């Protein structure tokens, strides 16, 4: 393959994907309050396992995406079904990101502007990025990631004086069942890093891909966990659970003398750049998958088709904030878990069985 991406680009991409979970932290705080971090631990374990599965398959089927080796592992018919399932999943992530940005801009930044305007602009640029290619999107991650990390660090640094550590109590007030139910949403969100099944095929050194992913995802989880601790200690559990964009509220609280104020503008730019990067990446992954199902269709045609689907669902199917929250928790959460855990795990199990069968067959032929 001519496309090549670096370890630094991959690290930056995984960090941005995990850290920019707009609106998701508040839903976790709403369900688990001070015990939110326990759900994140469960999500980390599952994400680490899925990453290992993808790494093993990616090493065996070098320079092939998850769409390509799915057909080799499952056969042509089941492979096409698997490709369709993963493609639909990547498109659903793009829908979720578009919805989140529409809601954020429409409610916090520019409430008088029709929300469909934001969707049109985002998807036009995203479609262009898809046509430009994966290398362009990945190079953008090197610019966006430091800016995203800097915005989080800056906001947390200047909110240290506002922290009330008594807000962290009480902990361990939820049962194991409640923790596992609360872990569904972060597991689904962190699990979108199964995009590794696409990116690994283009990495210039796939041997280190698993380590790079763990580092990028780890930094992203550390960032989001720290920001959630700040939300609880600064504005409290009750207000933090009611505010859909609590980190944005933290940015508005920054006030250092008369010269460092209105940091929410910095946060808006950071979130917009990061979310566009993720949207373009999953838009591209959706195109890549559909290309295997409809090989005669051009990438531009598929890219525009996906953009239209994302726009229609985002604007007309889930027009209210309540509908979007339901989509995030029930559709992306449940469907995401099925694809991430069941889809990837079953693919890996069949892969292991076939590899064992090949090894036994090879041993038998050598003995003869």
Low-confidence residues of the chain: pLDDT under 50: none
Q: Encoding tokens for residue 307? A: 């953009």
pLDDT for res 318: 63
pLDDT for res 98: 86
Write down the number of H helices and E strands in the chain: 17, 0
Measured between alpha carbons, how far is 349 from 138 in angstroms, rounded to an integer?
Answer: 31
pLDDT for res 331: 62
pTM for the structure as a whole? 0.89
- According to DSSP, the residues that pair with 260 across neighbouring strands are 256
pLDDT for res 213: 93
For 243, the 3-state DSSP assignment is coil
pLDDT for res 332: 63
Measured between alpha carbons, how far is 32 from 229 in angstroms, rounded to an integer?
Answer: 13
pLDDT for res 276: 86
Domain architecture of the chain: domains with CATH: 7-367 (1.20.1740.10)
What are the residues whose beta carbons fall under 8 Å from the beta carbon of 87, sequence distance 6 or more?
A: 67, 285, 286, 288, 289, 290, 293
pLDDT for res 285: 92
Residue 301: C-alpha distances to residues 128, 157, 162, 347 (Å): 12, 46, 51, 29
pLDDT for res 57: 93
């Amino acid at each position: 393959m001519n496309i090549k991406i670096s370890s630094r680009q991959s690290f930056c991409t995984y960090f941005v994907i995990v850290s920019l979970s707009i609106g998701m932290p508040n839903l976790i705080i709403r369900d688990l309050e001070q015990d939110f971090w326990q759900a994140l631990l469960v999500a980390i374990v599952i994400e680490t396992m899925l990453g290992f599965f993808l790494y093993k398959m990616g090493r065996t089927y070098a320079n092939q995406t998850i769409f390509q080796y799915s057909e080799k592992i499952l056969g042509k018919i089941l492979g096409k079904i698997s490709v369709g399932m993963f493609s639909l999943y990547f498109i659903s992530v793009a829908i979720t990101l578009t919805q989140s940005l529409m809601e954020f801009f429409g409610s916090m930044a520019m409430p008088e502007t029709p929300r469909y305007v934001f969707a049109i602009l985002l998807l036009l640029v995203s479609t262009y990025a898809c046509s430009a290619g994966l290398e362009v999107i990945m190079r953008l991650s090197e610019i966006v990631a430091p800016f995203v990390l800097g915005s989080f660090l800056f906001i947390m640094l200047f909110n240290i004086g506002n922290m009330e550590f008594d807000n962290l109590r009480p902990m361990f007030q939820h049962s194991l069942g409640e923790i596992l139910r609360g872990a569904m949403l972060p597991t689904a969100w962190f699990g979108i890093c199964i995009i590794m099944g696409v990116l690994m095929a283009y990495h210039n050194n796939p041997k280190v891909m698993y380590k790079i992913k763990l580092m990028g995802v780890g930094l992203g989880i550390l960032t989001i966990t720290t920001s959630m601790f700040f939300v609880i200690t600064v504005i409290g559990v009750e207000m933090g659970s009611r505010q859909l964009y609590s980190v944005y509220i933290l940015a508005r609280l920054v006030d250092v003398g008369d010269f460092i104020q209105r940091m929410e503008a910095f946060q808006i730019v950071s979130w917009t750049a990061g979310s566009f990067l993720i949207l373009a990446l999953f838009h591209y992954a959706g195109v890549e998958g559909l290309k295997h199902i409809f090989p005669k269709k051009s990438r531009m045609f598929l890219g525009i088709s996906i953009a239209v689907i994302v726009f229609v669902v985002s604007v007309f199917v889930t027009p209210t904030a309540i509908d979007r929250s339901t989509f995030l928790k029930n559709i992306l959460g449940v469907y995401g878990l099925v694809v991430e855990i069941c889809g990837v795990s079953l693919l890996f199990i069949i892969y292991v069985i076939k590899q064992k069968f090949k090894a036994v067959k090879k041993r038998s032929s050598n003995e003869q």
